[in-house]
Amino acid sequence: MPRRMLPTLFLCLTTVFVVDENARAQTSTDEPGTDWPSYLGGPESGQYSPLTQINRGNVSGLEIAWTYSAGGTGPGVRSQIQCNPIIIDGTLYGTSPDINVFALDAATGKERWVFDPSEYMRGRSGLGVNRGVAYWSDGTDKRILATAGSSLFALDADTGQLRDDCGDGGRVDLHDGLGREVGKLFVSSNTPGIIFENLLILGTRVSEGLPAAPGHIRAYDVQTGNIAWVFHTIPQPGEFGYDTWPKGAYQRTGGANAWAGMSVDHDRGVVYAPTGSAAFDFYGGDRAGANLFANSLLALDANTGKRIWHYQVVHHDLWDRDLPAPPNLVTLQRDGHAIEAVAQITKSGHVFIFDRVTGEPFFPIEEKPYPPSDLTGEAAWPTQPLPTKPPAFARQRLTEEGLTNISEASRAFALDRLRRSKSDGQFVPPSREGTIIYPSFDGGGEWGGAAVDPKTGIMYVNSSEMAWILTMVPTMQKGDRRVASAGRILYGRHCLYCHGIERIGDPEGEFPSLLNLAERLPRAEAESAIRKEKGRMPGFDFLSERQMKRLLAYLYDSDEELESATEKEPALPYSSTGYNRFRDQNGYPAVKPPWGTLNAIDLNQGEILWQVPLGEYPELTARGIPVTGTELYGGPAVTAGGLIFIAASRDERFRAFDTDTGEMLWETQLPAGGYATPSVYAVNGKQYVVIAAGGGKMGTKSGDAYVAYSLPQEGKQE
């Protein structure tokens, strides 16, 4: 079948230029690999560029080449850009904070076209975030495949116009093809799908509460929009894994979704898909069993969707331990033999490595015993797998010795809270007194992914070192006949784990306070936002009129009584109090620094080569406290020039590190936090590195900028 095959970066290594690293002179970039052709750099998700023009010897001379303001933000708007843009033949394709898709001249940042999906979104305002787009071509037929909310769009790559021959006038509804009626449930796709021949293989984001749509993986014909195959991540009768769930679970259970993206081996025709947890995240009394294929790395036939092999990294997940990033396809060495492998990072800070063909572990994996749950109806799985190598790149257990040492007051505050919680390491079940999750729900490793140098088999991955506290609370309340009491149960089921038990939201502003709504928002506007999505909040259009009335009564503190004293609102017996970071009294992480690190891991030997703090709090540095690192969102890119480029840190800076030593060689201030993974490319012999500076995480300001850097031109007059 004629098609443009996206270049495999391993093949790009056939041409290597020797560079004098002490010279500032421009060097040729005419070797292969000048594009950044797909999400995270290529189908192997290596986040690697073979370009060498920018290198250890001259990186300190980087300057801004261009800045593009994508729009979609403004005063009072809490937005983000998580996009890793792609670059094809001198054109950069990316997305804005409000998920407009755009094309730029990659050498100048000049806008070529913009596509606004909002008019196709059926009145929904909550498009969430977007991490990039996919590109496909066949001769003169060149397409951008982009998602926004519950829609997949096919665009002409040259003009940005919808391709009317694909789907319904260029749009495909992501609710279709999931095997049951999910039309009113939340289904979206934050991460671009991956191209294999004429297929776009795509995962989705679904609700982490109940009810939730299933996270089945689908392949779409790029030209028609038709579904070519579906892999059921929650197996149906007769399928492998069906007996790892309660009977009939496929008809009612959701999640187990491949939200983080995928990698593909074009030569073998195999797609590697990591999946997330089943819904509800933190209580599984209604889904007894190991729950295949949640929390699994899947190797699927890319032509048919049939399972080749799988490995489940967490059994019966109760900790939101989604596999957070596409796996890296790598070639490793053992006893003088090359082994084609796949390496998967986890939120818990581990790297699982498998033979790409057979699924055999590259290093031994041990099933270790863990305690049972003390929550009524819960059946935690008795063992969990942990790799013997490499060592975890994040700390695994929080003890008193591991608490913050930035001041005596901070330590005393943290010590008091720790002593009232369970803190026994990984896979201790959630509890009513509070269980320390360390690393946190956001890692360890996260969606920014890991970079791998294919010449050395060395992985570069950033890690957040933040502890969170998971506390479970009963959702049932007896004896209260108010409408608001029934609404409280609905709030506990759908809203509590984002907005908190006291409705105060997130201190960093990612989840707003719901207190005093009557003074700030008419009920009709609140109902519209709840039903149709708003910002990061999924839509709850599945709520009946009676359920919505009760939920609003709770949110607006109504004293109205129930129409019938016997009516009950069914719910799981427990919910969580929300996503609560473990902080000291001043808002700093309650654990001992570093709070964020950049790590180099030799995948061949299973060894950590170096680890350095990433990011800082300037006010703490001014007090004489060594650089602490910060929480991190976004990932690294590594180059043949011996450099790791990464932003990700709360201090809104962009940095370059030496791949051999971890020494920081360059840093610059961004207009907003760069909570995304950078892209590296060249146009007309000139190398660039670009980062989306969208901010909005960790309480930092939002932004709309893409900033590209390059070396100055020789003989520049200005």
pLDDT in tens, 186-233: 999 999 999 999 999 999 999 998 899 999 999 999 999 999 999 999
What type of residue is 461?
Answer: V
What pLDDT is recorded for position 483?
Answer: 67
What's the rounded Cα separation, in Å, for the pair 470 and 440? 10
Residues 146/220, Cβ–Cβ less than 8 Å? no
Torsion of CA 594, 597, 600, 606, to 10 degrees: 60
What pLDDT is recorded for position 433?
Answer: 94
Give how far Cα 591 sits from Cα of 87, 185, 431, 572, 631, Å.
40, 38, 21, 33, 12
| Backbone phi, psi, residue 242, to 5° | -60, -35
What pLDDT is recorded for position 518?
Answer: 83
Longest dimension (CA), the chain: 83
What pLDDT is recorded for position 26?
Answer: 36
Q: List, for the chain, all residue ranges whose pLDDT scores fall below the cut of 70.
A: 1-32, 122-127, 476-485, 497, 507, 509, 535-536, 561-571, 714-718
- For 292-308, what is each residue's pLDDT tens digit? 999 999 999 999 999 99
Please choose, from the candidates 696, 671, 646, the residue with its C-alpha nearest in 3D space to the C-alpha of residue 68: 671
Give how far Cα 296 sits from Cα of 229, 396, 532, 599, 687, Å.
19, 21, 31, 24, 37
Place of tokens 């801004």: 64
Q: Which residues contact 135 (CB under 8 A, 6 or more apart)?
A: 6, 37, 38, 86, 88, 93, 142, 143, 144, 145, 157, 195
What's the rounded Cα separation, in Å, for the pair 275 and 259? 7
Residues 532/541, Cβ–Cβ less than 8 Å? yes
Q: Which residues contact 678 (CB under 8 A, 6 or more apart)?
A: 84, 636, 637, 645, 646, 647, 654, 689, 690, 691
What pLDDT is recorded for position 716?
Answer: 41
DSSP state of 701: P
What's the rounded Cα separation, in Å, for the pair 392 and 369? 18
DSSP state of 117: -
Strands lying side by side in the sheet with 199-202: 194-196, 199-202, 217-221, 227-231
Give how far Cα 453 sits from Cα of 9, 270, 457, Å.
10, 22, 6
Structural domains of the chain, ranges and CATH numbers in brackets: 476-571 (1.10.760.10)
Q: Kindly state the tokens that stand for 452.
A: 């791998």
Q: Kindly state the tokens that stand for 82.
A: 């998580």
When the pLDDT of each residue in the chain is averaged and rounded to a whole number, the result is 90
Residues 161/153, Cβ–Cβ less than 8 Å? no
